[in-house]
Amino acid sequence: MNKNVALIGVSGYAGTILYQLLKNHPKVGTITLYGHRDVGKHLSEIQPDLVQYGQVDPVINQFDPQKIMKEADAAFFASSAGVTNQIAGTLIEADFPVIDLSGDYRLSDPKSYEKWYKKPAAKADDLKKATYGLCEFHPKLSRYVANPGCYATATLLGLAPVVLNNLIDLDSIIVDAKSGVSGAGKKLAPGSAFMTVNENLTVYKANRHQHIPEIVQELKNWNPQLRSIQFTTTLLPITRGIMATIYAHVAKGIQDPEKIISQAFIDTYEDKPFIKLHGSNLPSIKDAAYSNLDAIGWQYNPVTGVILIVSVIDNLLKGAAGQAVQNFNMMFGFNERIGLPIVPIMI
Amino acid sequence: MNKNVALIGVSGYAGTILYQLLKNHPKVGTITLYGHRDVGKHLSEIQPDLVQYGQVDPVINQFDPQKIMKEADAAFFASSAGVTNQIAGTLIEADFPVIDLSGDYRLSDPKSYEKWYKKPAAKADDLKKATYGLCEFHPKLSRYVANPGCYATATLLGLAPVVLNNLIDLDSIIVDAKSGVSGAGKKLAPGSAFMTVNENLTVYKANRHQHIPEIVQELKNWNPQLRSIQFTTTLLPITRGIMATIYAHVAKGIQDPEKIISQAFIDTYEDKPFIKLHGSNLPSIKDAAYSNLDAIGWQYNPVTGVILIVSVIDNLLKGAAGQAVQNFNMMFGFNERIGLPIVPIMI
Amino acid sequence: MNKNVALIGVSGYAGTILYQLLKNHPKVGTITLYGHRDVGKHLSEIQPDLVQYGQVDPVINQFDPQKIMKEADAAFFASSAGVTNQIAGTLIEADFPVIDLSGDYRLSDPKSYEKWYKKPAAKADDLKKATYGLCEFHPKLSRYVANPGCYATATLLGLAPVVLNNLIDLDSIIVDAKSGVSGAGKKLAPGSAFMTVNENLTVYKANRHQHIPEIVQELKNWNPQLRSIQFTTTLLPITRGIMATIYAHVAKGIQDPEKIISQAFIDTYEDKPFIKLHGSNLPSIKDAAYSNLDAIGWQYNPVTGVILIVSVIDNLLKGAAGQAVQNFNMMFGFNERIGLPIVPIMI
Amino acid sequence: MNKNVALIGVSGYAGTILYQLLKNHPKVGTITLYGHRDVGKHLSEIQPDLVQYGQVDPVINQFDPQKIMKEADAAFFASSAGVTNQIAGTLIEADFPVIDLSGDYRLSDPKSYEKWYKKPAAKADDLKKATYGLCEFHPKLSRYVANPGCYATATLLGLAPVVLNNLIDLDSIIVDAKSGVSGAGKKLAPGSAFMTVNENLTVYKANRHQHIPEIVQELKNWNPQLRSIQFTTTLLPITRGIMATIYAHVAKGIQDPEKIISQAFIDTYEDKPFIKLHGSNLPSIKDAAYSNLDAIGWQYNPVTGVILIVSVIDNLLKGAAGQAVQNFNMMFGFNERIGLPIVPIMI
């Protein structure tokens, strides 16, 4: 039976993409939109291209948790960090199915949230309820999901096989991550002006990006001996896509690292429909862009003993709205792949 | 007194830029062009935009070492790797001033050349004569200069202060380098087609780029304990510029690494006109593009103990033709800065 | 009932997109691939990203018209101009349903074909059978369709309302058309190298583009007094999309041209699902890119008496594979919209 | 003897480029900077890349016309439209040499200025004094110069030969002009965000751009029968450069238009160092970008009787700061070419 959904926040990039995915999702019934600034407006007034000939043009409703719980089967929050945790509490506490795309419920430690986000944290009890929604690694049927950050998704999926299987020196992880401009959101800023970004490359927030603590939290869940990672974020002159280029020294005593590591990737992901293993043929951003895939390749360097892992995703799909839909599919026991693009746009 | 120069190879990107620099150089007299394929043609037939209203339109001459030694004071080779070492021997053996932009004379070990370039090496005696022309680190008045590779220049200038001063764990160096498409030269290839590069990011030749051995050779000259580096090359969807993002663990026992490292950069480069130190304010590619600068920034991470160094250059200027002119200036005792752009094109 | 289809040519851009559309089309059964160069290979060897986890990996078969007529309900030719008309004749003459994406059957006059394409034309009888497949203007259930060119589609759909309704001076039409690089196909050429296209804009084939004769042919069908058009093609530094910027003097004697012209657009297109009328709010390429839409806007200038029409499409969808599927839908009496993206990718 | 100059406004793109040109100009002595917002700051605080190793770091002074007239030989205004005419009056009325890069003194009719710029106009007497500084068409030694707009420069230089020589139907001129994003200035706006511009093409201000009246004013000076032009402005996804694609019907009765028109271009421009005639080989934006050139090509279409003219410039050089320096050279009787780049950056 189809599920009716509430979507809170449709004006940002993730919300826009999420609306499109939900509209074409065969198991989604009615989609009701909620917001703040644009309450009362029709969607076509905010996003003219989203509403086409002969289609319904929905209205943005004032956020109303009671109405949502009465009319919908699940709520997607595509509102900003710091906003979601002001409004989602009622639903969480009533145990209503929620998928939150902001960072507000990803960190289980409120102090860590306040340190990295510089905003008040959600209630500690609500944080405890949340499942960190990295789909390939959490149980199905979770009730309340914190959808992972885009950088975190690419990094964690790239590192999982070698961290879970103790194949690397845990103190040697270095992530040189790069993102297209859509990752920065819609707010006007000098750093995302065409004149700044075009024909340029800029490192920003090195070791200060707010996705670092969720990465470290999950890595520690997988391997408690891990302490920290070196993490650099770089702005690419493209619209969509993330590449996480990951380096680590292979752990001492591993025989035939090339074979062992390859086997770890295969074992970890062989039944995961959205993980595309490239082996030593490293993937480009276009191998994942505009799909829900994470394309992963790796090369072991016997001279330095370093394993290089390249993990690429579309930051707005597997890194946001696509993974949210994948979480929705898992929450209700649907096939994970339903409603999600599996072929990248190569052209 | 002005110097007359011979330029062998003007059709590639480095040759084209070099011709423009030499034409505007106040200490250069006549420029005579030499080549193979286009012998007898006028420059305007190969590069219409290079010859403007009322200017001389030079002819491409058949390469002739005797003529060069008679008429010129120095020869620039902007011919390809594997071509230069077929033709430059006569000049080198006669001790005539030569600046070679190809990779043919950079590696002192012929076997290493043959391994990485897959071509026959120059004579061992000729290789011994060559100075590796990283201007900030070699003596003036060298007679025969092998101009460094673009990736090598950015990487070596970024690493020098910490390697020379023993500030890092030499086995921990990881370089995540990125280059614009002009670095790939003019040859048509699927990998440099607009349709492949635009809206994309691709790792290529990881640990297999031919600039790796010259980097390791120089680092070993500076610090013989160094054994190897991890080196990744990535193709950016831009025309000009290289960023080398460099990681290394700070050596054990360094007190106050932030201060010590900063001081090492200042001490190493304080009188170097083409090194622009950005401190912890990491440079973007536009801080160096279209200039002969290397802009360098660094950040120490006390959590991981890793020093991050970002070194950016214009691959065709400081990474090729600009450094060749800087070498020319040094060879003849001119001011290093003559004839070289020192302000990047930011707009 | 589902239709089985043959697809001849899957390695070019249009063929690749067409394969993806057909795979997701709810009324398409089996898709059999045919080709020349790659016969016997699996699709994944030519286009690795097209074949995903758990999907069938079809083989490229040698072209075989008898097999096609026996097993399939329709054939799509995504082969090149000059190739299609060497091989499609058997199917056409047997009255088998064919949709040809090349230019080989668009011009009813073989001499015109030979003049513009510089290749031998198809048989005159076969040419007569073809319907020019501009979907908004031809009868349903055509048996044999020549799918229009990308520039022609954008131009004709922009001009139709004013030409059909005699609203402009027919000798004054000027089309300044611009296309992304995918329009040039996959062949390596200096003109489509990243280094040439990036940060550039180039007029090419002004008044010599092979889509001009099909545009003039159709305009004459609509209004026999038309003689010729001025047509400029310009290469944009983007991957996908065409903008046709169209100018014409409004015909003498039209009262209130602004109102009359707007009404003509509305009347012509009000029931056409893939035409998105923007009125005086001129569309950008992103209003159509990655969809099967043609987005059209117009502005009348009372000072000059000129009507400006801006028509934008995705060159590979509405300008090629999308329109081919739309033609397929019409040919078999399906809803025109089935299997076609109607929302552009704005982000 | 060198001239000392005052530069009012260095924070915008044109001011930044102008400062760089003046610094390298062999006939310029001291450059004193003036401004409003940034008074008291050092240049390096506003534009770090402009001040390099060992160079003077000038201070921004409060605008002071008496100081300027006492210390300088000429003043460049790179302040905004609506600002210049509030402050430049004192200099103009004292007959002090002024070159204004804003639009404030280009239109001789104050009413036209107020209509198009929606701001109060300069005094009618001051407007009368100004020379419209299209260098190729005004007398040397002008005392007070209104530097032309970027779109106007490309359009007027493209049209001059055919308008001055009565070769076209004056009511048929259509200009389809395209500009890189730097033409929009530095102000943050959704329309110049990377996410909007990248992979897109947008028509803006069709028939409403404020450069239209200065174009029409000059065309009427050349040929009073001209009434108006159709003018479209289009935003390109590039940083620098303008292409004006110009169409007009050749006047009735012209014999051998191809020859006559080519001769008109040659006669008009044969001694102009910054006009590069391409004949029928139409120029691309890269044939002029980063130089002070206007590269012009043309093609006559005998089928339609239309002449197509393509005129390309760098919007910030020949379209702003470069032409300002060219005007400065002419004002003081220097060689027009001094201090100006004449070779485009092709790579």
A188, D191 contact by CB (below 8 A) = no
CB-based contact C192 B190, cutoff 8 Å:
no
Tokens of D43: 């240049």
Calculate the alpha carbon distances from A178 to A299, B201, B303 in Å.
19, 9, 22
For C263, counting Cβ atoms within 10 Å of its Cβ (0-12 exposed, 13-18 middle, 19+ buried), the class is middle
Distance (Å, whole) CA D28 – CA D76: 12
pLDDT for the residue numbered A298: 98
- Mean pLDDT, range C222-245, rounded to an integer: 98
Q: Which residues of C touch B199 (CB under 8 A)?
A: 239
Give the type of residue at B301: N
Q: What percent of chain D has pLDDT over 70?
A: 99
The nearest CA of chain C is from the CA of A204 a distance in Å of: 22
Q: Which residues of A touch B195 (CB under 8 A)?
A: 347
- Mean pLDDT, range C216-223, rounded to an integer: 98
Determine the residue of chain A that is closest to B307 in CA distance. Answer: A230
Q: Which residues of B touch D345 (CB under 8 A)?
A: 290, 345
pLDDT for the residue numbered C142: 85
DSSP H or E run through A301: strand A294-301
Q: Which residues of C touch B186 (CB under 8 A)?
A: 195
- Tell me the per-residue pLDDT of D95-129, one tens digit each, with 9 for 90 and over: 999 999 999 999 999 999 999 999 999 999 999 99
The nearest CA of chain B is from the CA of D199 a distance in Å of: 9
Neighbours of chain B (3+ CB pairs under 8 A): A, C, D
Neighbours of chain A (3+ CB pairs under 8 A): B, C, D
The nearest CA of chain D is from the CA of C270 a distance in Å of: 24
Distance (Å, whole) CA D33 – CA D7: 5
Provide DSSP, A161-212.
HHHHTT-B-GGG-EEEEEE-GGGG-S---GGGBHHHHTT--EEESTTT-TTH
Determine the residue of chain A that is closest to D189 in CA distance. Answer: A188
Q: Dihedral angle at the C-alpha atoms of C146, C150, C153, C155, nearest 10 degrees?
A: -140
Q: Which of A203, A286, A301 sits opposite B282 (nearest CB)?
A: A203
Chain D interface residues facing chain A, Cβ-Cβ under 8 Å? 181-182, 186, 188-190, 192-199, 237-239
pLDDT for the residue numbered D53: 66
pLDDT for the residue numbered B140: 80
Q: Which residues of C touch A47 (CB under 8 A)?
A: 346
CB-based contact B197 C194, cutoff 8 Å:
yes
CB-based contact C193 B188, cutoff 8 Å:
yes
B211, B158 contact by CB (below 8 A) = no
pTM of the predicted structure, to 2 decimals: 0.97
CB-based contact B188 C186, cutoff 8 Å:
no
Q: Is the pLDDT of residue B311 over 90?
A: yes
pLDDT for the residue numbered C55: 76
The nearest CA of chain D is from the CA of B112 a distance in Å of: 32
pLDDT for the residue numbered A53: 65
pLDDT for the residue numbered C53: 66
Looking at residue B264, the DSSP 8-state letter turns out to be H
- From the list B60, B122, B145, B150, the catalytic residue is B150
Q: Reply yes or no on whether A150 is catalytic.
A: yes
Helix axes B257-269, B150-164, angle to 10 degrees: 120
D344, D290 contact by CB (below 8 A) = yes
Distance (Å, whole) CA C158 – CA D295: 31
- From the list D10, D72, D150, D307, the catalytic residue is D150
Q: Which of A181, A188, A198 sits opposite D239 (nearest CB)?
A: A198
Distance (Å, whole) CA A304 – CA B172: 9
CB-based contact C347 A16, cutoff 8 Å:
yes
Looking at residue B108, the DSSP 8-state letter turns out to be S
The nearest CA of chain B is from the CA of A99 a distance in Å of: 30
- From the list C5, C74, C150, C154, the catalytic residue is C150
Determine the residue of chain C that is closest to D176 in CA distance. Answer: C176
- B31: β partners: B5
Distance (Å, whole) CA D37 – CA D27: 29
Distance (Å, whole) CA B139 – CA B116: 27
Tokens of A280: 């030593």
The full set of domains in chain D, from first to last, is 3-129 (3.40.50.720), 151-315 (3.30.360.10)
Task: Give the three-state DSSP class for D61.
Answer: strand
Neighbours of chain C (3+ CB pairs under 8 A): A, B, D
- Tell me the per-residue pLDDT of B181-209, one tens digit each, with 9 for 90 and over: 999 999 999 999 999 999 999 999 999 99
- Mean pLDDT, range A244-266, rounded to an integer: 97
The nearest CA of chain D is from the CA of C122 a distance in Å of: 26
- Tell me the per-residue pLDDT of A119-128, one tens digit each, with 9 for 90 and over: 999 999 999 9
- C193: β partners: B193
Q: Is the pLDDT of residue A142 over 90?
A: no
Q: Which of B17, B54, B182 sits opposite D273 (nearest CB)?
A: B54
Report the relative pairing of strands D306-313 and D242-249 from DSSP bridges: antiparallel
Torsion-angle region of residue D9: left (phi > 0), alpha (psi -120 to 50) or beta? left
Determine the residue of chain D that is closest to B50 in CA distance. Answer: D343
Task: Give the three-state DSSP class for B25.
Answer: coil
- Tell me the per-residue pLDDT of D288-328, one tens digit each, with 9 for 90 and over: 999 999 999 999 999 999 999 999 999 999 999 999 999 99
- Tell me the per-residue pLDDT of C25-64, one tens digit each, with 9 for 90 and over: 999 999 999 998 899 999 999 998 888 766 789 999 999 9
pLDDT for the residue numbered B48: 87
Q: What percent of chain C has pLDDT over 70?
A: 99
ipTM: 0.96
Q: Which residues of B touch D293 (CB under 8 A)?
A: 52
pLDDT for the residue numbered D140: 81
Average pLDDT of the residues of chain C:
96
Who's near A214: CB < 8 A, 6+ residues apart? A103, A106, A107, A132, A148, A149, A152
- Tell me the per-residue pLDDT of B52-88, one tens digit each, with 9 for 90 and over: 766 789 999 999 999 999 999 999 999 999 999 999 9
Determine the residue of chain B that is closest to C182 in CA distance. Answer: B195
Determine the residue of chain D that is closest to B346 in CA distance. Answer: D49
Half-sphere exposure of C304 (CA within 13 A, CB side): 28
Q: Is the pLDDT of residue A175 over 90?
A: yes
Q: Which residues of C touch B192 (CB under 8 A)?
A: 193-195
Average pLDDT of the residues of chain A:
96
Distance (Å, whole) CA B279 – CA B265: 9
| Proportion of chain A in helix, strand, coil states, percent, rounded to 5 | 35, 20, 40
The nearest CA of chain C is from the CA of A14 a distance in Å of: 10
- C175: β partners: C231, C246
Q: Which residues of A touch B237 (CB under 8 A)?
A: 236-238
Report the relative pairing of strands D60-62 and D28-35 from DSSP bridges: parallel
Q: Which of B13, B343, B347 sits opposite D347 (nearest CB)?
A: B13
User: Band of the pLDDT at A315, cuts 50, 70, 90?
Assistant: very high
Q: Is the pLDDT of residue B177 over 90?
A: yes
Distance (Å, whole) CA B6 – CA B17: 15
Q: Which residues of D touch C299 (CB under 8 A)?
A: 206-207
Half-sphere exposure of A27 (CA within 13 A, CB side): 19
A13, A185 contact by CB (below 8 A) = yes
- Mean pLDDT, range B313-333, rounded to an integer: 97
pLDDT for the residue numbered B62: 97
Q: In which residue are the tokens 């979507």 written?
A: A7
- D204: β partners: D233
Average pLDDT of the residues of chain B:
96
Q: Which residues of C touch A287 (CB under 8 A)?
A: 49
Q: Which residues of A touch B241 (CB under 8 A)?
A: 199-201
Helix axes B13-23, B322-331, angle to 10 degrees: 50
Q: Is the pLDDT of residue D54 over 90?
A: no
- Compute the residue count for chain D: 347
Alpha helices per DSSP H over chain C? 13-23, 43-46, 65-71, 84-87, 89-93, 110-117, 124-129, 150-164, 194-197, 212-222, 257-269, 322-331
Q: Is the pLDDT of residue C211 over 90?
A: yes
User: Band of the pLDDT at C139, cuts 50, 70, 90?
Assistant: confident
Q: Is the pLDDT of residue D147 over 70?
A: yes
Which of B311, B242, B244, B281 is closest to D44 using CA atoms? Answer: B281
Q: Which of D54, D273, D342 sits opposite B273 (nearest CB)?
A: D54
- The residue with greater pLDDT, C209 or D49, is C209
- Tell me the per-residue pLDDT of A184-229, one tens digit each, with 9 for 90 and over: 999 999 999 999 999 999 999 999 999 999 999 999 999 999 999 9
Half-sphere exposure of C289 (CA within 13 A, CB side): 23
pLDDT for the residue numbered C343: 86
Q: How many contacts does A have with D, using Cβ atoms within 8 A?
A: 48
Determine the residue of chain C that is closest to D191 in CA distance. Answer: C284
Who's near C159: CB < 8 A, 6+ residues apart? C173, C219, C246, C248, C309
The nearest CA of chain C is from the CA of B181 a distance in Å of: 7
The nearest CA of chain C is from the CA of D220 a distance in Å of: 15
- From the list A14, A17, A31, A150, the catalytic residue is A150
Distance (Å, whole) CA C158 – CA D175: 19
Q: Which of C206, C228, C306 sits opposite D230 (nearest CB)?
A: C306
Chain A interface residues facing chain C, Cβ-Cβ under 8 Å? 13, 16-17, 20, 47, 49-50, 52-54, 182, 199, 239-240, 273-276, 286-287, 290, 293, 316, 342-347
CB-based contact B237 A238, cutoff 8 Å:
yes
DSSP H or E run through D300: strand D294-301
CB-based contact C13 A347, cutoff 8 Å:
yes
Q: Is the pLDDT of residue D331 over 70?
A: yes
